[in-house]
Amino acid sequence: LFPYTTLFRSRDEAGEASVALYDMMGRKVYSSHIVSQAIVIPTQGFAKGVYTVVVNAVNRQQVSRVVVE
């Protein structure tokens, strides 16, 4: 598995946004400010498990899950 996770936003969602990654205990383990459609999250060194990704843009919030193996 790659040492990063890549997510993509639609063209309608292009623009500034913030992204945060939370572990299953609700602890924020990563955060970043983005301006592109591709979101690359470095996961090297993260414990195996399911994480919640929250992307906040001007008028929208997207929540998804990723698995780190």
Model confidence at 5, in pLDDT bands (50, 70, 90)?
Answer: low
Has residue 49 got a pLDDT over 60? Answer: yes
Question: What are the two backbone dihedrals, phi and then psi, of residue 7, each rounded to the nearest 5 degrees?
Answer: -120, 155
Tell me how far apart the alpha carbons of residues 65 and 14 are, in angstroms, rounded to a whole number: 20
Tokens 């399911």 found at: 50
The answer to whether residues 13 and 58 touch, using CB atoms and an 8 Å cutoff, is no
Has residue 31 got a pLDDT over 80? Answer: yes
Tell me how far apart the alpha carbons of residues 49 and 67 are, in angstroms, rounded to a whole number: 6
**pLDDT value at position 8?**
59
How many Cα atoms occupy the beta-carbon half-sphere of 42 within 13 Å? Answer: 3
